[in-house]
Amino acid sequence: MKYLIISDIHSNYQALKSVIDDATKKFGNELFILCLGDIIGYGAQPNECIDLVISRTKSIVMGNHESGLIGSTDIGFFNYSAREAILWTKRVIDKRYFQIIKNFSYSFSFSDFKITHSTLQNPLYWQYITSVYEAEDEFLSDDFKISFIGHTHIPVAYEKNGDEVRILEDDLIKIEDDKRYIINVGSVGQPRDGDNRASYVIFDHDEMMVKYNRVEYDIDGAMKKIIDAKLPKILAERLRKGL
């Protein structure tokens, strides 16, 4: 079984469609799609993104932007552009999606892996794992074998071998029996690692292999939609920079 794992789409339909098309072309039509949250926010096509995700995805977890949209997270803690995008999304989103989003879970457990948006330790507090030290805390909080996460928009993997935790920089990771893993799949719609291509992960469960993938998409089109919607211009500009 192969899983296509995506996160942080952020209403960027051009990027989402390119990811699904690229993954299907490379890995086949039988992919099980898992979404790690933040389908909405920042970008200008929330309805199109939600519609595509819920029609194709087996499991979806709550992101902080969905939580802010439905009022479960105080968007007063969001930065200006993120807050403005949520307020705009509330005005334009199809109302039938609110109830669907309210039913999103904060995590899912599978036979030997788990998925969440931020951390399994405190999934409702939207903490970030950005270092080995934070990864060490997360490994102590739960007995997961593999945890797939998003939230930081930066693709990175952490491996725990005994008491040692290290960062893995390879695009292809072999899951070993005696080790544990935190896999951040990066962002589909707003990458922040200096590479403006959309990021996604393929998890081949039979082979226990994780592969990072990047795909180009119509950035100009996504930027134009943000500008035309009169959202903060920085949300368009950062797509070009990948930051």
207 pLDDT band, cuts 50/70/90, is very high
Predicted pLDDT of residue 197: 98
Residue linked to tokens 């029609």: 55
Q: What domains are there in the chain, each with its CATH number? A: 2-241 (3.60.21.10)
The H or E element that residue 222 is part of is helix 219-228
The H or E element that residue 215 is part of is strand 209-215
Beta bridge partners of 59: 34
Rounded to an integer, the average pLDDT of 94-113 is: 95
Distances (CA, A) of 50 to 33, 44, 208, 209, 225: 14, 12, 29, 28, 17
Interval 156-193: pLDDT, tens? 999 999 999 999 989 999 999 999 999 999 999 999 99
Beta strand 107-109 pairing with 32-35: unpaired
Predicted pLDDT of residue 169: 86
Closest by alpha carbon to 43, among 216, 199, 218, 226?
226
Evaluate if residue 29 carries a pLDDT over 90.
no
Predicted pLDDT of residue 114: 98
